[in-house]
């Protein structure tokens, strides 16, 4: 179990997909739909759990394409943002996945995790500030669709990362930018992540606490090795103690 001690912490920054919203599975399914036809005759099919967690989860979309293909010994031309979705380029595969994800969200909406929503309310009730980050350019739309935008003081997503030239996880730049916008040193900010690159980013950024969510039940050891201070199957297991004093929020 993780305890957020608000006598030392002033804010908690959450990853989006798989932590705040139940969209990690939508991302994974979209990647499989794109990769499997491409891999036919080249390699085995995309494993929606092992390959997604090891090579794609938590990374910017194009980095995910590069990292997964490298794991299969496949290299492709980079292409560009004007490529046809599904073209045999890094951009082409990334664009096809993006289109599928957006369509799924448009058709079915976004479901938040009730335990995360409850934790957000409890943190804010005790004076703790909150932020949300994502490598995805769709973070704002996803959080808005889930009806949760009002529960976050800051949001830093893939669109902001591109505008500011921030590298993706496991570099801590996204989290550090959220802390900067909260006007807090990293040591007073906790990070909640469900992807190994994000856990590593929290450790590398010098954050006060790194909490990992392992919904698959397969990554606890790796998350602890990457720098998590605690690993939970769900944030319902988290506890909050103390209160941020008025004037220090």
Q: Residue 249: its pLDDT value, please? A: 59
- The two structure tokens encoding residue 130: 């909150």
Q: Residue 111: its pLDDT value, please? A: 94
Element (H, E) at 123: helix 114-125
Residues in the chain: 249
Are 36 and 46 spatial neighbours (Cβ–Cβ below 8 Å)? yes
Q: Which of 17, 51, 157, 214 is catalytic?
A: 17
Contacts of 7 (CB under 8 A, 6+ apart): 241, 242, 243
**Greatest alpha-carbon span in the chain:** 62
Q: Measure the CA–CA gap between 127 and 185, rounded to whole angstroms.
A: 17
Q: Residue 247: its pLDDT value, please? A: 67
Among 45, 47, 156, 141, smallest CA distance to 101 is for: 141
Are 242 and 126 spatial neighbours (Cβ–Cβ below 8 Å)? yes
Q: Residue 74: its pLDDT value, please? A: 97
Residue 17 in 3-state DSSP?
strand
Q: Measure the CA–CA gap between 179 and 141, rounded to whole angstroms.
A: 22
Q: Which of 5, 15, 171, 194 is catalytic?
A: 15
Q: Residue 105: its pLDDT value, please? A: 87
Q: What angle do CA 46, 146, 140 make, to 5 degrees?
A: 80
Other C-beta atoms closer than 10 Å to the C-beta of 233 total 12
Burial class (CB in 10 A: 0-12, 13-18, 19+), 158: buried
Q: Measure the CA–CA gap between 88 and 86, rounded to whole angstroms.
A: 6
Q: Measure the CA–CA gap between 50 and 81, rounded to whole angstroms.
A: 28
pLDDT (tens digit, 0 to 9) for every residue of the chain, 249 residues total? 799 999 999 999 999 999 999 998 898 999 999 999 999 999 999 999 899 989 998 888 999 999 999 999 999 999 999 999 999 999 999 999 999 999 988 888 899 999 999 999 999 999 999 999 999 999 999 999 999 999 999 999 999 999 999 999 999 999 999 999 999 999 999 999 999 999 999 999 999 999 999 998 999 999 999 999 999 999 999 999 999 987 665
234 is catalytic: no
Each domain of the chain, given as residue ranges in start order, spans: 3-22+111-241, 25-108
Q: Measure the CA–CA gap between 141 and 102, rounded to whole angstroms.
A: 10
In this structure, whether the domain defined by 3-22+111-241 belongs to CATH 2.60.40.1120 is answered with: no
Q: Residue 245: its pLDDT value, please? A: 86
Q: In 36-140, which ranges are E strands?
A: 129-133
């Amino acid at each position: 179990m993780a305890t957020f001690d608000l006598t030392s912490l002033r804010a908690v920054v959450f990853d989006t997909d798989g932590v705040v919203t139940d969209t990690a599975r939508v991302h994974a399914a979209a990647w499989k739909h794109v990769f499997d036809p491409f891999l036919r005759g080249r390699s085995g099919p995309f494993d929606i759990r092992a390959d997604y967690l090891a090579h794609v989860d938590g990374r910017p979309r194009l980095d995910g394409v590069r990292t997964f293909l490298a794991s299969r010994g496949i290299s492709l031309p980079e292409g560009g943002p004007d490529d046809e979705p599904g073209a045999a380029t890094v951009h082409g595969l990334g664009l096809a996945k993006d289109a599928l994800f957006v369509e799924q969200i448009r058709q079915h909406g976004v479901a938040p995790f009730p335990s995360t929503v409850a934790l957000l309310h409890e943190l804010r009730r005790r004076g703790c500030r909150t932020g949300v980050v994502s490598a995805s350019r769709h973070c704002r739309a996803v959080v808005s669709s889930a009806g949760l935008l009002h529960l976050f003081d800051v949001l830093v997503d893939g669109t902001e990362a591109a505008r500011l030239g921030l590298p993706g996880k496991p570099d801590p730049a996204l989290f550090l930018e959220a802390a900067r916008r909260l006007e807090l040193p990293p040591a007073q900010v906790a990070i909640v992540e469900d992807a190994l690159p994000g856990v590593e980013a929290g450790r590398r950024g010098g954050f006060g606490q790194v909490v990992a969510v392992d919904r698959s039940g397969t990554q606890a050891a790796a998350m602890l090795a990457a720098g998590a201070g605690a690993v939970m199957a769900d944030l319902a297991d988290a506890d909050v103690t103390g209160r941020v004093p008025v004037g220090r929020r």
